[in-house]
Amino acid sequence: MKGTFSRAYGSPMRYIQGPGEIRNLALHAAQYGSFAYILIDGFIYDTIKAQLDVIFDGETVRFHASRFGGESSQDEVDKDVGEIASLGADLIIGIGGGKTIDTTKLVADCCGIPRIIMPSSASTDAPTAGLAGLYRPDGVQIRAIKTKRNSELVLLDTEIIVNAPARLFAAGMGDALATWFEARANWASLTPNYIGDGYRPTRAAMAIARECSEILFEDGRGALAAVKQHLITEEVENVVEANTLLSGLGFENTGCAAAHGIHAGLSEMDADHRDHGFHGEKVAFSILAMMVLENTPSEEMDRTIRFLIDIDLPVTLEQLNIEPTDENLDKIVDHTVNHNNLIHHEPLIINETLVKHAILAANAIGHRYLDGCV
pLDDT per residue as tens digits for the range 48-84: 999 999 999 999 999 999 999 989 999 999 999 999 9
Q: Measured at the alpha carbon of residue 11, what is the angle toward residues 6 and 13, in degrees to the nearest 5?
A: 130
What confidence category does residue 366 fall into, taking pLDDT thresholds of 50, 70 and 90?
Answer: very high
Catalytic-role residue among 80, 219, 263, 270? 263
pLDDT in the model for residue 270: 77
DSSP code of residue 128: G
Find, among 304, 263, 301, the residue nearest to 280 by Cα. Answer: 263
Give the separation between CA 329 and CA 141, rounded to whole angstroms: 18
Catalytic-role residue among 279, 312, 335, 345? 279
Q: Is 367 a catalytic residue?
A: no
CB 290 within 8 A of CB 109: no
Catalytic-role residue among 175, 219, 270, 312? 175
Superfamily of domain 166-370: Dehydroquinate synthase-like - alpha domain (1.20.1090.10)
Interhelix angle 166-189/279-294, nearest 10 degrees: 30
Q: Is the pLDDT of residue 226 over 60?
A: yes
Which of 211-220, 268-277, 351-360 shows the lowest per-residue confidence on average (mean pLDDT)?
268-277
Where does the chain hold its CATH 1.20.1090.10 domain(s)?
166-370
User: Partners of 92 in the beta sheet?
Assistant: 37, 115
When pLDDT is averaged across residues 167-179 and rounded to a whole number, the result is: 98
Q: Is the pLDDT of residue 1 over 70?
A: no
**CATH architecture of structural domain 8-161:** 3-Layer(aba) Sandwich (3.40)
Of all residues in the chain, the percent with pLDDT exceeding 70 is 98
pLDDT in the model for residue 74: 93
Where does the chain hold its CATH 3.40.50.1970 domain(s)?
8-161
pLDDT in the model for residue 2: 52
pLDDT in the model for residue 139: 73
pLDDT in the model for residue 195: 94
The dihedral built from the CA positions of residue 66, 71, 74 and 75, taken in this order, carries a sign that is negative
Q: Is 64 a catalytic residue?
A: no
Catalytic-role residue among 260, 276, 335, 345? 260
DSSP letter string, 284-321: HHHHHHHHHHHT--HHHHHHHHHHHHHTT---SSGGGT
Q: Is 175 a catalytic residue?
A: yes
pLDDT in the model for residue 202: 98
Find how far residue 111's CA is from the centre of its chain: 24
pLDDT in the model for residue 43: 92
Q: Is 75 a catalytic residue?
A: no
What confidence category does residue 143 fall into, taking pLDDT thresholds of 50, 70 and 90?
Answer: confident
Interhelix angle 298-310/352-370, nearest 10 degrees: 60
Give the separation between CA 76 and CA 78, rounded to whole angstroms: 5
